[in-house]
Structure 1
């Protein structure tokens, strides 16, 4: 305390000068309309700038929390959209979808903690595992489209082989107005060719189907792990030779695997029931 008092005593003249300067400035401002308005405008300007900077810092600090909240809300929206798309029958169909079948898909949010794109068999690692209800065989999607399928799980992590995997394929269909107007389907298999991580091949599409460059490619209704209508990509190139029955189609993926952060693990609650039934009724192959 004594040291503080000695310091104040040493700089007493400077402190007195500073106080008199502040009093003089205050008197000038209060007794001059021009200076009063100028001071008010200037102080408001810097106060607004300070508040803006403070709000920006707060928003930046809370960005992770807001992002987590948004992806959780998106998961709920995807669940609702999947149910609505399943309930909606094709125009002219008399078939009515059972509500339990329509609501069979559930979604869990996960974060990608590791991934590859340059191999012939590419994988992702996500931060959800057995303790979070994740099981091998579940589908994985992201806001842009199809990602892959869960291969293996530990308690807290899961290994996913992506669509950029030479042994993974997706039942897909082309979606356009011409096909819808004719009430037709253009079903095929989407499989990666092993070269460009932005392009996948679409095979077994009848060359006489009315499809064209730019058409959307989505998952078909024959998927067990993905909701139908999930984006795969858009046709960027197609052609066929005279002696070919099917198109040669290249599809540009909507999912950017080099910049993927969050994914949704898809749980088909009726998957085991369907597979068990199909396995029990599968004809035996005679040797």
Structure 2
């Protein structure tokens, strides 16, 4: 990393929620409970999808990996937030900040493509049911999963290097809850237009394109569902898709709003709230959405609880 005073600058200061000092303890308790719920809930999804033979299908294969991705994504930001709230030490080294940005961008891009792969799986299941197991075989599922994880790595590394190569000759205070692109650009001096153009390109490649693929899949899914003769069949088809669609709207909605705004339009308060949506709320809601709206999951959970109660009675 080079340029300007970058070599003299060792760390940033994450302001986080420092503007509401009286609520630091309360916020720490709330976020700690949320983090534990995210880890426990998504871990249970992974265990259930692996343990129950009835759930050994491509849909649950992707769901288990999506839950693991959610835990990784949340673990990039929440532990640091908790540490800052507990210790009131808000400094973060340049390397740690760059690593956090790189992981957020990389895992966020992976989540976008994995959600698109999950939408494609539902499209094949509903629109081409007779060919489902042939098209969505194990090899294809693994390829889609690996592709989701690695497709954006070169671009994300280049984007992170380009941002942290900017000179920082002003304030090092980041008015945000974690290291993110726009708070960093706001404290950089010099021309940041090239960085902003690259951000828009990344949003199109890793956000808009997967979102359009998801929308295209669901348009075909809805058309296919409406053609089903049975009301029960329609209800079952909609129930298998609605959970995934809720997660898509929650994640893409907040993420695209944040990253498509021009730098001048960003408000620290609104950015913090929107960031909480796609880094914390989506991983928190994921277990509840899939477990409460999925009949197969409910049945499996009941089986697990029944077995646990029988073991306990012995």
Q: Larger C-alpha radius of gyration, 1 or 2?
A: 1
The structure carrying a bigger strand percent of its residues is 1
Which structure has the highest helix share of the two? 2
TM over 0.5: no
If asked which structure has higher relative contact order (CA below 8 Å, sep 6+), I would say 2
